Amino acid sequence: MNRQIAIIGSSGGNLYNLGGRDPLKLLDEILVQMESAGLSCGALQFIAAQVSMDAAKDSTPAALYGWNSSQGEPVIIAEGTLQQVNQAAERLDREIAEQIELGEIDGLIVMSADPEGSNRHAIEAAAKFRLPVTGTGGTSMAIIQTKGAYVIAASGTTGTTNRTRAVTFATSLSKHWRLPYRPVIGNAAASIHAAAGSSSPWRRINIRGIMMASLPGFIGMALILAVSKIPGLSALTEVFDLMIKALPVIVAVIAAKQVSELDEVSIVAGIVAGVLSVEGGIIGGIIGGIGAGIIVHYIFRQCVEWRFPATTVNIVAGGVSGLIAGLLVYFLIAPIALSAGEGIRMLIETLVSWSPAIAGLIAGLLIWPAIIGGVYHAAILPIVLLEMETTSNSFLGAVDMVGLVMVSAGITLANIIAPRDKGEAAVAAPGFAINMGFGTFVEAAYPFMFSNKFVFAGAIASAGLGGMLVGIFGVRGTAYVPSFIGPITSNNTVGFLVSMAASMLCSFLITFFVNKLSGYREAKNTLSM
């Protein structure tokens, strides 16, 4: 009998822009990959809101997806306001917890869950019976770890896609149980949903989602720049120049694919539009890609209605759509788009030039509230990528590394060395490793920040210190790379190292002494009793 997996979570905040807004397509991809790994769905509880959870309210329309075992597919079991759906989700949460208690569930896949609310009972039951848990969602996965759950793989959501998440889930579970698994490249079910044209392409336009999905291309460019600085490899500078020119193509392809959701056809349209949009920079690429995605959607449907042969449909939809959108950008929009990108970069540079130290301090002090409040992915990350378009590094990218990644690393390291209780060290260790090794998953510090106001204040102060040093040293850098690579990709290796070390040391010392003081007080209270 196949291993039975419970899929729980929600359309999320950041996840909403990376697949969460289309629950059926997201779930279809997971189910296809699970089937390839010999896994079966035993339970499902997925809350789908019509907006990002970062902006959702109790009155936001939402739906609850459950699992229909007889039909073998996800079905909507409740609809209404988010508040009403959450109430239904809590009842389903108890049912899944009972299934776990009865041994009917073997593992959990988690996406942007609410371990303190609508997923509490399932998470606690999974922790009790040591079920393997894999999932995404920085904040939720960090809290799940603090509850003692057996997390075999965890990550944030930025930069992921439905397929990469699904493959990661299936891979981690199959490795845990030593099951044979080969990722499925095609997803017939998802293709059916896309071709059906169930929603307007205009509703799928999301600049934030396009920029975040394009992030690997920008990081690749930064890595090439770093390697080109090694003696004997200066020839890679030409490769770096070529990659800068390719960035509009990358964002155009992502935009076209996300807007049209027609996979290979939209990719071809995006490439054609992107090549013609190069002179407009990444803003031109985004406009060209969005245009290609919208046009390919309608041309594809029209060609199908005209009963064109499938090959002709792909050729016309992909090629013609890309040409129309690309030529519009090439002849009309490129100069305006290029000027807009230059204007944003000049604005950042002007603000920083007035007072680098104060600009860095303010950016550092605000970056934790920004990511906690959902502003980071909506505003800061796109600006970082615009800055990186010409030089592969940015002012806000450097603040990201020192203010978020290094501060999180300092907090988690302090909880490894001097935890308030032994369980916290086990929770902190994976987060510290990911912070240092991959330059991401800053949410690993959340459990410690939210449980102690002094650690929280220390995180903000440490980020402010690091940001101020970034301004003083005039550093331009990036996050989302291993910590030892970050300084190499920057314009000031020594300055970036000092800034990173200072913010990490500051957050480490504050957390260390707060933990020691808490332990001393607890011991004193115990003796007095």
Are 303 and 312 in contact by the 8 Å Cβ rule? The answer is: yes
Longest pairwise C-alpha distance within the chain: 85
Q: Which amino acid is at 199?
A: S
DSSP 60: S
The pLDDT tens digits for 316-353 are 888 899 999 999 999 999 889 888 878 877 887 888 88
Neighbours of 320 (CB within 10 A): 17
Long-range contacts of 453-459 (CB under 8 A, 24+ apart): 454/510, 454/514, 455/411, 455/510, 455/511, 455/514, 458/411, 458/506, 458/507, 458/510, 458/511, 458/514, 459/368, 459/407, 459/408, 459/411, 459/507
| Beta strand 107-111 pairing with 3-10 | parallel
* Residues paired with 111 in a beta bridge: 9, 136
Q: Which helix (H) or strand (E) is 6 found in, with range?
A: strand 3-10
Rounded Cα gap, residues 19 and 23, in angstroms = 7
Cα angle 394, 245, 278 (rounded to 5 degrees) comes to: 110
Cα angle 452, 453, 457 (rounded to 5 degrees) comes to: 125
Q: Please provide the DSSP assignment of 201-247 as one string.
A: GGGG--HHHHHHHTHHHHHHHHHHHHHHTSTT-TTHHHHHHHHHHHH
Q: Please provide the DSSP assignment of 79-125 as one string.
A: EEEHHHHHHHHHHHHHHHHHHHHTT---EEEEES--TTTTTHHHHHH
Q: Does domain 3-190 have CATH number 1.10.3470?
A: no
**C-alpha distances in Å from residue 199, one per residue of 9, 186, 195, 463, 479:** 23, 21, 10, 42, 35
Q: Tell which phi-psi region holds residue 526, choosing left (phi > 0), alpha (psi between -120 and 50) or beta.
A: alpha
The pLDDT tens digits for 260-269 are 867 778 888 9
Q: Please provide the DSSP assignment of 357-374 as one string.
A: HHHHHHHHHHHHHHHHTT
- Buried/exposed 438-459: b ≥16 CB within 10 Å, e otherwise: bbbbbbbbbbbbeebeebbebb
The pLDDT of residue 214: 85
Q: State the distance between the two ends of the chain, measured CA to CA, in whole angstroms.
A: 54
**C-alpha distances in Å from residue 319, one per residue of 95, 245, 249, 409, 481:** 50, 21, 15, 47, 36
Rounded Cα gap, residues 511 and 412, in angstroms = 9
Residue-level length of the chain: 529
- Buried/exposed 462-479: b ≥16 CB within 10 Å, e otherwise: bbbbbbbbbbebebbbbb
| Beta strand 73-81 pairing with 61-68 | antiparallel
- Read off φ and ψ for residue 114, nearest 5 degrees: -120, 80
Rounded Cα gap, residues 244 and 100, in angstroms = 51
All CATH 3.40.50 domain ranges in the chain, comma separated = 3-190
Rounded Cα gap, residues 49 and 6, in angstroms = 20
Neighbours of 509 (CB within 10 A): 14
The SS3 call for residue 417 is helix
Rounded Cα gap, residues 240 and 218, in angstroms = 11
Helices (H) and strands (E) in the chain, counts: 23, 7
DSSP 196: T
Rounded Cα gap, residues 322 and 345, in angstroms = 28
pTM (global) more than 0.75: no
Residue 96 half-sphere exposure toward CB, CA atoms < 13 A: 33
Rounded Cα gap, residues 449 and 457, in angstroms = 8
* Residues paired with 79 in a beta bridge: 63
Mean pLDDT by 10 residues, the chain (529 residues): 92 87 92 93 95 89 94 94 94 96 95 93 95 89 89 77 82 91 58 44 83 83 78 83 87 91 82 93 92 90 68 79 94 88 81 90 92 77 79 87 96 93 84 89 89 94 96 90 87 94 97 87 60
Q: Which helix (H) or strand (E) is 36 found in, with range?
A: helix 23-36
